[in-house]
Structure 1
């Protein structure tokens, strides 16, 4: 467990805008910052960061909390992992104590995988630089490719010795468990139960998470044997999902934001060479076809992607089929190709940084126009092929959500394809109409499935009145608990302790509210008045969600609201006594109503006269309590 003084230092140092800004492109709007949600696919920003309160709220997904909560939600960190990440960012030394909780092993499973991959990265890097085999084979290869010592060090490149158990033996000797060696894919288990190295005799490319920790590897063989696969990559694990990882993104994200553009290449060496040339906004899809998750990852930082292809025409055509996904996500795509026989790696080494940049500037084309030009050349004078190409191009344009942008491409393609613009628009509208009908049918199908679901399936919970009243109590404790009371008959006390004392006989039903009030009561008993930051940074995620939902608001009135509209919005602080006591008594009235309902039910079911008398007395007493509360609230109870 991380000690409380360390946690306090981390909280004091953390700038939530700075932290979230590493993952989401934020723009200032009034006192807050807004951006596109990293948790859902949206086109209008609903993700809000409040630096004054130290919270974020994502109104599209409902998620919210502190910088710690954000890291836990986005990067799937545990609470301690998020704290350690922030500590590393702000240069804070972490002091820890022993955690004796029973579920420690389960909590540490993911961290154990991270530690194992971190150890492996260090082992491979040292093998490359400090062993004769590593220097003569691995380091020589990297040097031949033109990689400098700085690049090798920055990307933690390595070498796995050409021995069956060099890494595995060293890991076991250092106390690393077989379970994590196998699960991370670093070691492979034989039929007899013994382990051997997966990457033996390969140069190693560590794959870093978004936050810079090594989570997987790509290993390239240097042997000419055609039976040996050129690359071996880490298998999927709890910490590595290749469809949502981009190689080099950890080192590129700052440059992508600054340049407002992301260069997308195919291989590890492409990333390394282009990055080394000073063009740092470059990533690769880690040896997989581009996925929607990877596109959304780029979309957090920029809406502009430039694809850098090699000169292989067949490869380019195959890749084009997958790029419509980028258009569907609303991103702008440009394409750059290189002379045949060259890829970004070889070309930048051949011509240098300035010529490489100049080539990109002079040859890049919008994806739609690039695709049109490429397919037209392939079709030649064949009218059947040309008709197929026209349909394929319009299908791509139909993916673009921005109708104005789509119209511009229709006009451009009409000229290139030498076909009437109205014919292309007609085809585009047919495709969009067909898609709309298909989506509508799918929605109807989903609704029918929901309507015909068996009655015993769990239903969506309804919002109960008690939940609303309980949340109102929590909101008032958060906002006004540390303010002094100056009411007639009550003074020289704080609102928080007063409310806690008044609610001593109330049992909260909503679990997060119940835990919140219990924590608040305990802090008051310890002589402390907890403020909103105490709960915003709490370990209990449900409490954080509750607090942020109550504190965050999507809309705020402008300073000129009254002048413009002459509408006065009531301020609950004008009459704090009515606000606080009203909330307490509304909750008590609701609780009393539930008790009366329960007593009525028991009176109907009870046959014993003695029990009936007891229940009747209780009922009469509770009715008096209800009338007292109602008299205060100014309401009338119908008999």
Structure 2
């Protein structure tokens, strides 16, 4: 367990804009920062970071919290993992009550897989650099490919010995469990139950997560035997989903954000060579077809993607349709071809950084126009094939969500295809209309899932809290968060803080909204212990319900410009100008609501009761509560009007 002083140092060092900015492209807007949600697919930014409060709020998914919460939500970290990541970022030494190195088998299953993968990366890297076999075979290969010692170290390249159990035997001896060796795909089980190494005699390319931890491997054979697969990649696991990973993204994300462009290549060596040449905004899909998830990963940092192809015409044509997905996600796509026989890896090593960049700048072509050119050449003068090309190009344009951008491409393609612009626009509108109809039909045909309804007995089990009622209770929580630590300076009340005053006034009120009830009870306990909790106490509290409620109430999607009054001479009312009315108004509105609920209950009982004595008792209670309601109404009127 991480010690309290270490946690305090981490919390003090955190700059939430800096932390979130590693994963989301943020732009300053007033006092806050905004960006596209990393939790949902959106085109209009609804993700907000407040540096003053130290919180984020994603209005599209409802998620919110501190920098620690953000890492836990996005990277599925445990609380200690998130703290350790932040400690590493800010150079803080982590003190633990029990050293994690003494306990290889972590409590968390996912963390165990991470630890095993990290150990394997270290083993392969040391095998490459420190063993005779590794130096003669693996290191020689990397040096022949032109990779420097710095690149080898940075990307943690390695070598797996050409022996059946070199890695597995050592891992088991070191105490790593067979279960995790199998799940990560590092070891394979024989029929007799024993394990052997998956990557024997291969150079190793560790695959890093978004936060830099090794989660998988690609292993390349150096043998010429055609029966041996050239590459073996890690199987899917709890920590590795290949459709969600881009090779090199951990090392490229800052450069992608700075350059506002991402170079997309095909293989590990392409990434390594281009990165080594000083062009660091480069990633690869690791030999798999590009997925929507990978495109959205890029979209967090830039809207501009440049595909670097190796000049293989057949391969290019096969991938053209897949690249339409990038357009559909609202990204701008350009294509660069290299001379025949060259890929990004070989070409950058041949011509060097300056000439490589010059080639990209000179030959960069917009994807739509490039696709048009390729397909037209293939169609030749055949009118039927040319008609098919036109439809395919318009299909691609139809995927572009920006209508202005789509219109520009229609105009350009009209000229290239030698066809009337209105005909293309007509076809475009037809395709969009058909898609809209199809989407609408799919929505209408959506089958009701079991979670969409509850059986009658479930509905009657526990009536939900009414929305207006929960809103009143949440308003109390909001005021405690914002003003609880402020000193009261009202007529007749002094020398106390707003928080304890509100808790005392609400002592006879029973909260029904579960998170609000939990919050107020926690606040009351802290006050009893002589502590006046502030908003940071609740933002970093371990209970997720408390954090979610606090962040939701503290975060605001819109902020009023500082120039509003200067520009429009309109003064917006500020609740702090009359704190007495704000605080007492909230307390007594809630009390009035609770009294109204009691009165409704008494009215219901009076309608059912048959005994005269019981009726008299209920009437007495009813009249008493009516007097309470009137006194609250009178008090509210005097407080609000003053």
2:593 maps to 1:590: yes
For the residue of structure 1 that corresponds to 2:404, the secondary structure is helix
Q: Which residue of 2 aligns with 1:349?
A: 349
Q: Does structure 1 conserve the Cα–Cα contact (< 8 Å) formed by 2:159 and 2:203? A: yes
* Distance 1:375-1:616 versus aligned 2 partners, 3 A rule: same
2:583 maps to 1:577: no
Q: Which residue of 2 aligns with 1:185?
A: 185
Alpha-carbon separation, structure 1, partners of 2:614 and 2:199: 77
For the residue of structure 1 that corresponds to 2:301, the secondary structure is coil
Counterpart mapping for 1:520-535 below 5 A: 520-535=523-538
Name the count of aligned residue pairs.
631
Alpha-carbon separation, structure 2, partners of 1:43 and 1:548: 23
Q: Does structure 1 conserve the Cα–Cα contact (< 8 Å) formed by 2:30 and 2:561? A: no
For the residue of structure 2 that corresponds to 1:554, the secondary structure is coil
Q: Does structure 2 conserve the Cα–Cα contact (< 8 Å) formed by 1:207 and 1:215? A: yes
* Distance 1:453-1:83 versus aligned 2 partners, 3 A rule: closer
Report the CA distance between 1:242 and its aligned residue.
Answer: 0.9
2:287 maps to 1:315: no
Q: Which residue of 2 aligns with 1:102?
A: none
Q: Which residue of 2 aligns with 1:495?
A: 498
Q: Does structure 2 conserve the Cα–Cα contact (< 8 Å) formed by 1:78 and 1:107? A: no
Report the CA distance between 1:208 and its aligned residue.
Answer: 0.3
2:459 maps to 1:456: no
Q: Which runs of 5+ in 2 are unaligned?
A: 100-104
Report the CA distance between 1:331 and its aligned residue.
Answer: 0.7
Alpha-carbon separation, structure 1, partners of 2:478 and 2:407: 49
Counterpart mapping for 1:3-402 below 5 A: 3-97=3-97, 108-402=108-402
Alpha-carbon separation, structure 2, partners of 1:217 and 1:30: 44
Q: Which residue of 2 aligns with 1:540?
A: 543
For the residue of structure 1 that corresponds to 2:445, the secondary structure is helix
Q: Which residue of 1 aligns with 2:633?
A: 630
TM-score, with length taken from structure 2: 0.92
Q: Does structure 2 conserve the Cα–Cα contact (< 8 Å) formed by 1:251 and 1:280? A: yes
* Distance 1:352-1:432 versus aligned 2 partners, 3 A rule: same
Alpha-carbon separation, structure 2, partners of 1:622 and 1:227: 87
Alpha-carbon separation, structure 2, partners of 1:498 and 1:89: 41
Q: Which residue of 2 aligns with 1:442?
A: 442
* Distance 1:469-1:419 versus aligned 2 partners, 3 A rule: same
For the residue of structure 2 that corresponds to 1:575, the secondary structure is helix
Report the CA distance between 1:564 and its aligned residue.
Answer: 4.7
Q: Which residue of 1 aligns with 2:556?
A: 553
Q: Deviations over 1:549-604 (max 9, x none)?
A: 11111222233434554544322222222221221222223233334444555666
Alpha-carbon separation, structure 1, partners of 2:202 and 2:601: 72
Alpha-carbon separation, structure 2, partners of 1:357 and 1:463: 62
2:509 maps to 1:506: yes
Q: Which runs of 5+ in 1 are unaligned?
A: 100-104
Report the CA distance between 1:248 and its aligned residue.
Answer: 0.1
Alpha-carbon separation, structure 2, partners of 1:98 and 1:603: 63
* Distance 1:505-1:306 versus aligned 2 partners, 3 A rule: same
Report the CA distance between 1:326 and its aligned residue.
Answer: 0.5
Alpha-carbon separation, structure 2, partners of 1:39 and 1:278: 31
TM-score, with length taken from structure 1: 0.93
Q: Which residue of 2 aligns with 1:516?
A: 519
Q: Does structure 1 conserve the Cα–Cα contact (< 8 Å) formed by 2:465 and 2:513? A: no
Alpha-carbon separation, structure 2, partners of 1:352 and 1:343: 13
Q: Does structure 1 conserve the Cα–Cα contact (< 8 Å) formed by 2:330 and 2:400? A: yes
Report the CA distance between 1:613 and its aligned residue.
Answer: 7.4
Deviating more after overlay: 113-122 vs 496-505: 496-505
Q: Does structure 1 conserve the Cα–Cα contact (< 8 Å) formed by 2:465 and 2:512? A: no
Report the CA distance between 1:278 and its aligned residue.
Answer: 1.0
Report the CA distance between 1:619 and its aligned residue.
Answer: 5.3
